[in-house]
Chain A
Amino acid sequence: AQSVTQLDSQVPVFEEAPVELRCNYSSSVSVYLFWYVQYPNQGLQLLLKYLSGSTLVESINGFEAEFNKSQTSFHLRKPSVHISDTAEYFCAVSEGNTDKLIFGTGTRLQVFP
């Protein structure tokens, strides 16, 4: 069965600094990969997803993630964070040929002024 590991439960960073949120998955089959973001007291929102094609995917607010099949990773990066990026970030992987997503435990990104 697929699983997702987000090693960092919390990542503190200063505003305008770069950040990387790590995500590793385990799967023996082709997968789809997702990053969702959850702001306080809200539901999750899709940030970006990898389905096929270019291994580098981007979001509209400056985040990007790179699918690395050999390392089974899908790390999320942003070159310069804003206070408004403070949120919980969840990596997710598709499970087999179902519509089910397996979520990681989340990484709380805290951006300080």
Chain B
Amino acid sequence: DARVTQTPRDKVTEMGQEVTMRCQPILGHNTVFWYRQTMMQGLELLAYFRNRAPLDDSGMPKDRFSAEMPDATLATLKIQPSEPRDSAVYFCASGLDGITDTQYFGPGTRLTVL
């Protein structure tokens, strides 16, 4: 049963610290999405990649957030420095080419910045 995996599942950190979240997409999927979910803003797309190349990161605060795909089996989302307003659940999703394909979501990383 192929699934998207995310680590860590929960992260509590202090303001100013660096946070790195990792995602392993489903093997063979070439599109990876990063979303953030909060009560106030709902589900927001931060960035997405196709074949490891960033296609759109317009939803991401550029000064503190960065997203990369070091290889086809790993996507990372880094926040440096973290702030309390970054507290949210961060989801990774993967899929095949095109908008018509299903996005498969991971279980999420719950981030709390104190």
Contacts and interface: CB of A to CB of B under 8 A. Distances in A.
B105 A45 contact: yes
The B interface is mostly helix, strand or loop, or mixed, namely: strand
B23 to A, nearest CB: 11
A94 interface: yes
B25 interface: no
Contact of A106 (B4, B42, B50, B55): B42
Interface stretch (A21-29, A76-84, A96-104): A96-104
Interface in B59-110: 91, 93, 95, 98-100, 102-103, 105-108
The A interface is mostly helix, strand or loop, or mixed, namely: loop
Nearest to A103: B43
A51 B108 CA distance: 27
Q: Range of interface residues on chain B?
A: 20 to 34
Interface residues of A, number: 20
A32 B100 contact: yes
Given A43-B4, A105-B42, A99 B50 contact: yes
Interface of A: 32, 36, 41-46, 49, 51, 90, 94, 98-101, 103-106
8 contacts: A43-B4, A49-B100, A49-B102, A94-B99, A98-B99, A99-B50, A100-B48, A106-B43
